[in-house]
């Protein structure tokens, strides 16, 4: 099951967040900061799957945007990795070349 979906820029600012289970606002900020730090600090040569606390993080980088999905232990990482790519393709078709500004203001 997907727990949350984040779109983050290279500076670590959250551009879009969606939670699929209740998380208090102050805990969201702490969670996002830790997740962003873990994903942005990794090199391109490292795997895009991270074991984090009681769930897994699957992320992908597209230009200046990172898309991070938090999933539980039973979810298939490759399926979520492919879901992220399909999501970006849909955004690209809708905005005809998606950028950070499109996500922020639309």
**pLDDT per residue as tens digits for the range 27-83:** 999 999 999 998 888 888 899 999 988 899 999 988 888 999 999 999 999 999 999
How far apart (Å, rounded) are the C-alpha atoms in residues 84 and 69? 8
Sketch the domain layout of the chain as residue ranges: 2-103
SS3 (DSSP) at 83: helix
Q: What is the pLDDT of residue 24?
A: 94
Q: CATH assignment of 2-103, given 3.30.450.60, 1.10.230.10, 3.90.1150.10, 2.60.40.290?
A: 3.30.450.60
Nearest to 68 by CA among 2, 17, 5: 5
């Amino acid at each position: 099951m997907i727990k949350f979906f984040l779109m983050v820029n290279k500076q670590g600012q959250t551009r879009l967040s969606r939670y699929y289970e209740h998380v208090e606002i102050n805990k969201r900020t702490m969670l996002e900061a830790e997740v962003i730090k873990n994903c942005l600090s990794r090199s391109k040569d490292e795997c895009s799957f991270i074991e984090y606390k009681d769930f897994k993080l699957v992320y992908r980088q597209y230009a200046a945007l990172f898309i991070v999905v938090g999933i539980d232990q039973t979810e298939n990482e490759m399926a979520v990795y492919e879901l992220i790519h399909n999501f970006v393709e849909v955004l690209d078709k809708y905005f005809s070349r998606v950028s950070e500004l499109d996500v922020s203001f639309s």
